[in-house]
Structure 1
């Protein structure tokens, strides 16, 4: 490697630092996201609630009540109206509950939305299970169209005693362009 480096020590240092910077960038882009996802899945951090859940027990703990709050926000540039039908429900651990979100495409063009969930407190993510959710799939709406988006969930009976309130937040993203690119790629193949 000695012959590949410039003779000037400053140029050699700049070259080494440039290669180091490119390596750090590549590590951050390609290696860190999968590691972060595994870390969040193991620890329950970032409030990721996972995919569809199959209930294993139908026991309902009527001695406890958990308050579940619902929040809906649009990502920057998403022009849809998006809101939960109710802001708060009280549930018994183990009981399946349905709530609806409402979406309205207020634009004059067909669009596709994707809702990304987050849950706090983060520890509750392990005990909050969605059996059916609009967030599992993209939501296409024609111009001016509205939709009722159902979500069924169960709060696990094993939820720690100190957790009394859970907040489920959805951020709605416009994925119209990404979907169009995927469609073009499928046609090209």
Structure 2
């Protein structure tokens, strides 16, 4: 004959199992309840995951097949005696992939000059989707008299570029860096060259 305590323990265990089963069933019922609430109460149609997965795959496939044109342009400020131009004027690219291009610069002056390139993106709404991962514009460029140099640019166009943007123009303008150029021209030990001395 079982003791009253054993019967209470058995009933307690049965209650715990019942609560666990009820919680498990409630969890599974949340998905259809959520769908009913969205569709009936708020009027939002919830697609089944298989259909949603197919739509996502189709969207990704469309984006991977998308090709846009990137145009390149280059110029110099009138105070900088350099020649500067892109080595190719346009390129067909797929968003999400990395590409390289080159610009050509030559110092046509009679002395070494330091220049800084300022980039711009057109149309302006595409600027947030165009990333330069390597660019000569990140640092000042020094060219000796008559020196020529190829300057690389590495870039990526973001996959979520708006559909109505099919052409992006990357443009650079080089400006003379007067302060750094003056330091190049200053004789050793002059006021400009020794300005940082204590």
* Count of residues in Structure 1 that have an aligned counterpart in Structure 2: 130
Quote the Cα distance in structure 2 between the aligned partners of 1:155 and 1:140. 29
- Comparing both structures, which one devotes a greater share of its residues to helix? 2
TM-score (norm 2): 0.61
- Please name the residue that 2:166 is paired with: 164
Cα deviation 1:123-150 (Å, max 9, x = unaligned): 1000000000000011101111111100
Q: Tell which structure's C-alpha radius of gyration is larger.
A: 2
Greater relative contact order structure (CA < 8 Å, 6+ sep): 1
- Please name the residue that 1:73 is paired with: 75
Root-mean-square deviation (CA), in Å? 2.0
- Please name the residue that 1:102 is paired with: 104
Matched, 1:187 2:188: no
What runs of 5+ residues in structure 1 fail to find an aligned partner? Answer: 1-58
Q: Aligned pair in 2 of structure 1 residues 179, 149: CA closer, same or farther (>3 Å)?
A: same
Q: How does 1:64-143 map to 2 (within 5 A)?
A: 64-143=66-145
Q: Tell me, what secondary structure is at the counterpart of 1:143?
A: coil
TM-score (norm 1): 0.64
What runs of 5+ residues in structure 2 fail to find an aligned partner? Answer: 1-59, 184-191
